[in-house]
Amino acid sequence: MLVSDFDYELPPELIAQHPPAERGQSRLLVIPRDGGPLEHRRFGDLPEYLRADDCLVLNDTKVLPARLVGRRASGGQVELLLLRPVGEGLWEALGRPARRLRVGERVKFGPELAAQIVAVGGEGLRTVRLEHEGELLPVLERVGQMPLPPYIRRDHPEADDATRYQTVYAERPGAVAAPTAGLHFTEELLQRIAEQGVSMARLTLHVGLGTFRPISVERLEEHVMHAEWYRVPPEAADAINAARAAGGRIVAVGTTVVRTLESVADEAGVVHPGEGSTNLFITPGFRFRVVDALLTNFHLPRSTLLVLVSAFAGRERILAAYQEAIAAGYRFYSYGDATLLV
């Protein structure tokens, strides 16, 4: 298929630059997969679409404050976005401006943290050796910034990004982008859902930069996904398999949950615990073995995420729903509104 088949025009003013004033106050576009009429609701109405015996599956990854702004020895300002650890003290990072970050260059991010460039890759990628005292995470929390997506255009990060670009159930640090479908949930809403007999399972997929990058090739078959680390604990697999055995639906909160579950399921749809890396690219024609419903935000044109939701609910259905959302003034992307494909 052509990547151009997954394109649409979005007015720039509909790209959400800030989260809603209060978590959970987003709109919710319900898209029945059977072709029924779209429903325009509020996110707080989600429990109306869930049933007792369903299983809601959450990604508990935690976003690292991985955006580092520092200075070279010459005084020039540069940025590093830490992507993933690749060895003892070594990280793969995205540098900007990359041409100034040559092998041997040392960058300081204040008195607590420095990085030396040890290898150069394509597309701005660098391997860096981090220099710091003690555990890295507390240092990053003091020195780093939340790595907001590039379509959120602000001169400076804002204080509430540290909490609002993080789910209320985030536990395991390692992501460089939020699993944005989960940003809408409050503790109170999760409690309401649990009280109506819906079970919950938590897995981890550390969201990487590749998830959100537009596809640069002409045909879907030519695109290669970046691998991302996941973990499905035994208790999560047990809860999901028990819900399916009881006739409940598996409701995935986000495309990261979909990719993880469909990576670890066998042909019968049984989910197996474990950890590893997945580069699963879900395109139209994919046979979903586990996921019955999907809660997700609106996605960028020509992106792997838009391709995934099109595989789940139908390309024409999704693109028509997006046009209706645009006409109705929905807010798009990470800090925007949500959809429920059910």
Q: Write down the pLDDT at residue 200.
A: 98
Are 80 and 107 spatial neighbours (Cβ–Cβ below 8 Å)? yes
- Could you give the CA distance from residue 41 to residue 298 in angstroms, rounded to a whole number? 15
Q: Write down the pLDDT at residue 212.
A: 62
Nearest Cα neighbor of 43 from 198, 180, 203 is: 180
Q: What's the CATH superfamily of 3-63+163-341? A: QueA-like (3.40.1780.10)
Provide the 10 A C-beta neighbour count for residue 70.
Answer: 18
**SS3 for 136?**
helix
Nearest Cα neighbor of 338 from 24, 12, 32 is: 24
Residue 74, both tokens: 């010459």
| Residues in the chain, overall count | 342
The DSSP symbol for 15 reads: B
CATH 3.40.1780.10: which residues of the chain?
3-63+163-341
Q: Write down the pLDDT at residue 155.
A: 73
Q: What radius of gyration do the chain's Cα atoms show?
A: 20
- Could you give the CA distance from residue 197 to residue 217 in angstroms, rounded to a whole number? 45
H or E element, residue 117 = strand 114-120
Q: Write down the pLDDT at residue 100.
A: 87
Nearest Cα neighbor of 170 from 156, 181, 160 is: 181
49, 33, 165, 196 alpha-carbon torsion, rounded to 10°: 20
Is the four-CA dihedral 106, 109, 115, 119 of positive or negative sign?
negative
Q: Tell me the CATH number for domain 67-143.
A: 2.40.10.240
Q: Write down the pLDDT at residue 211.
A: 66
Q: Write down the pLDDT at residue 184.
A: 98
Are 252 and 294 spatial neighbours (Cβ–Cβ below 8 Å)? yes
Exposure string (b/e) for 285-301, b if CB count within 10 Å is 16 or more?
A: eeebebbbbbbbbbbbb
Q: Write down the pLDDT at residue 128.
A: 98
CATH 2.40.10.240: which residues of the chain?
67-143
Are 242 and 185 spatial neighbours (Cβ–Cβ below 8 Å)? no
Q: Write down the pLDDT at residue 14.
A: 98
H or E element, residue 252 = strand 250-253
- The predicted model scores a pTM of 0.95
pLDDT string in tens for the chain (342-residue length): 999 999 999 999 999 999 999 999 999 999 999 999 999 999 999 999 999 999 999 999 999 999 999 999 888 999 999 999 999 999 999 999 988 899 999 999 999 999 999 999 988 899 999 999 999 999 999 999 999 998 999 877 788 999 999 999 999 999 999 999 999 999 999 999 999 999 999 999 999 877 667 788 999 999 988 889 999 999 999 999 999 999 999 999 999 999 999 999 999 999 999 999 999 999 999 999 999 999 999 999 999 999 999 999 999 999 999 999 999 999 999 999 999 999
